[in-house]
Amino acid sequence: MAKSCPRTSVIVIGSGIAGLSAARKLTQCLPNCKVTILEALSRPGGRINSVEINENEFMEEGATWVHGIEDNPVHSLIKHNQVFNKYHYLIKYKFCKLNGDEVPTEHIKKYKRIYRKIKADAENIYQDGSTLQNGEKSVGEFLQKEFQRKLKDLKLTRECENTASSVFYSNSLIECCICGCNSLYDLVLNDFGEYEELGGGDLRVRGGYSQVIKELLKKLPENCVVYNSTVTEVHWKNDHIPDESSKPVRIVCENGEQFFADHVIATQSLGHLKEYGRALFKPPLPQVKLDIIDRMGYNYITKVHLRYQTPFWQDKFSRVIPLWDISPKDVVTKPSEFTKETWFRHIYDFAVHPFLSNTLEVWLSGESALHVERLENEIISDACTDLLRKFLKDPSVPKPDEILKTSWNTNPYFLGAYSYVAVGSSGEDCDGLAEPLCVENSNSVDVPRVLFAGEATHRTFYSTTHGALLSGEREAGRLISFYQCKFK
Ligand SMILES: Cc1cc2nc3c(=O)[nH]c(=O)nc-3n(C[C@H](O)[C@H](O)[C@H](O)COP(=O)(O)OP(=O)(O)OC[C@H]3O[C@@H](n4cnc5c(N)ncnc54)[C@H](O)[C@@H]3O)c2cc1C
């Protein structure tokens, strides 16, 4: 049982939600275990970061929605505080064409149903285990073909066909953001439906998503997290090198500091592993692991906040949804479609921030996201203002007083936003990434020496905060089982 556990030590790389949940579980269930978290940044939370704009008013740089209530461990961490605010603010939709003509919501709804139905058919390919008749490999191919087939059946007027295409395009842009990919043509079709949604809808956290991080930190010993410590080398077969601690894992940080432990749990983003994974581990990761890292999908997201002294929209809308003029043959953006001149055509809405009433929020994915992250704020401001004036047919729409944008994609500790199952990969790769590197001990027992957690290692909840949290607990559980301790 827990008390009879031998002394052991674990280093966790990264104080994101996966690293913190792993550390919390180890601390709770293995009393003789010393846990140290090495974090590159000067703050905890990783891709969860709520920035306080005004007193008690937060802007989420990263995770924004709590995806589901039922059995969601992230929701359980904060539910007692009543911090959630449902979609109440998304009621006043304005669907507008570039010439400013508005299309009634009722009209839009029937075309949105087409999107939903075709998307559900794509998901069902995994659920039913059905083999594909037409050999489509990507979600994009499937959606595009099925949309055109549906259009033929519906025999719409040219105008209605245009509206249906715009609505489909808009939804496929949203899907790219949800999935964190550049194009739905990059997203594998067969396993699309393996991602699991938790019941209860998507919710936002009034007092800042980082509350979750604060809750997790409360359960950790003081000084458990060592900040400003970028890990540059993980020597995981240190067995024959005599050193002060005779521990089998030696970690070297950028600042020259060294740490020794019995096990290491790596929780860096897939983007970081893609870029640095080859050089980080000594000996190198097995080829099979490197191939998985290469195959798996991971891409860019940028959030832009347009801040105004006074909200010009007053109560007129809570969301402006552009209806881009799109040919029915191009309702799903292709990977090669991005150009620096047309990045703004990937904007699918301007949404009033639910808690910052003078702020409009815009999300972009893929190459457009990376481009916007590097653009000067003035250019973003001009482009967005021009669009809003056109879509709202109102030349008096003011320029924002301030632009705040995120920088996950160029930050070396993230290099993107979240993972997806790419064409050429499969759900099995998430499990493959999670496989620990084991070393046989003198009793011929396989010791899990390097363990992997993080959102990309969760097969059905990848890309989410709850997936990341559960992955951390899973790897802590692996060590707890190894030491034959009972879970609490
Ligand atoms: C813009 C954006 C929007 C999102 N929206 C949502 C959402 O609405 N809902 C949702 O559920 N999820 C969302 N996500 C995804 C969610 O934030 C992540 O899935 C989750 O936070 C990942 O947690 P993690 O612990 O796996 O990784 P991370 O949070 O990336 O933690 C890894 C940690 O490792 C550190 N690190 C990296 N390299 C090193 C190194 N060499 N040495 C030491 N430390 C290192 C990093 O600094 C980081 O703190 C969003 C993400 C982004 C970027």
Of 286, 333, 292, the residue nearest 422 (C-alpha):
292
Measured CA to CA, the distance from residue 146 to residue 128 in angstroms comes to 18
Superfamily of domain 2-46+210-297+421-482: FAD/NAD(P)-binding domain (3.50.50.60)
Per-residue pLDDT 10s for the chain (488 aa) are: 444 667 999 999 999 999 999 999 999 999 899 999 999 999 999 999 999 998 888 999 999 999 998 999 999 998 665 556 655 555 789 999 999 999 999 889 999 999 999 999 999 999 887 655 567 799 999 999 999 999 999 999 999 999 999 999 999 999 999 999 999 999 999 999 999 999 988 889 988 999 999 999 999 999 999 999 999 999 999 776 656 568 999 999 999 999 999 999 999 999 999 999 999 999 999 999 999 999 999 999 999 999 999 999 988 999 999 999 999 999 999 998 889 999 999 999 999 998 898 999 999 999 999 999 999 999 999 999 999 999 999 999 999 999 999 999 999 999 999 999 999 999 999 999 999 999 998 888 899 999 999 999 999 999 999 999 999 999 999 999 999 744 34
Ligand 1 atom nearest to 14, measured from its CA = 34
pLDDT score, position 160: 94
pLDDT score, position 442: 84
pLDDT score, position 337: 87
Amino acid (1-letter code) at residue 417: A
DSSP structure class, residue 187: B
Is the bond preceding 283 in cis, omega lying within 30 degrees of 0? Answer: yes
Measured CA to CA, the distance from residue 460 to residue 462 in angstroms comes to 6
Decide: 371 and 343 in contact? Cβ < 8 Å: yes
Going by their DSSP bridges, the two strands 359-365 and 350-352 should be labelled as: antiparallel
Decide: 63 and 47 in contact? Cβ < 8 Å: yes
Measured CA to CA, the distance from residue 359 to residue 312 in angstroms comes to 10
What are the domain boundaries of the chain? 2-46+210-297+421-482, 65-202+301-405
Ligand 1 contacts CB of residue 454 (under 6 A): yes
Measured CA to CA, the distance from residue 437 to residue 262 in angstroms comes to 13
Topology agreement, domain 2-46+210-297+421-482 and domain 65-202+301-405: no
Q: How far is the CA of 419 from the centre of ligand 1 (A)?
A: 10
pLDDT score, position 1: 44
Q: How far is the CA of 301 from the centre of ligand 1 (A)?
A: 12
Q: Which two tokens stand for residue 443?
A: 């009793």
DSSP string covering 109-165, please? HHHHHHHHHHHHHHHHHHHHTPPPSS---BHHHHHHHHHHHHHHHHT--HHHHHHHH
Ligand 1 contacts CB of residue 15 (under 6 A): yes
Give the other-Cβ count within 10 Å of 76's Cβ: 14
Domain 65-202+301-405, architecture per CATH:
Alpha-Beta Complex (3.90)
Amino acid (1-letter code) at residue 480: I
Q: How far is the CA of 375 from the centre of ligand 1 (A)?
A: 23
Is the bond preceding 248 in cis, omega lying within 30 degrees of 0? Answer: no
Measured CA to CA, the distance from residue 339 to residue 319 in angstroms comes to 26
Ligand 1 contacts CB of residue 164 (under 6 A): no
pLDDT score, position 130: 64
Ligand 1 contacts CB of residue 47 (under 6 A): yes
Residue nearest to atom 49 of ligand 1 (CA): 46
Ligand 1 contacts CB of residue 14 (under 6 A): yes
* In the block, residue with structure tokens 């990263």: 62
pLDDT score, position 2: 45
DSSP string covering 433-472, please? HHPPEEEE-TTSPEEEEEEE-SGGG-TTTTTSHHHHHHHH
Measured CA to CA, the distance from residue 290 to residue 17 in angstroms comes to 24
Ligand 1 contacts CB of residue 44 (under 6 A): no
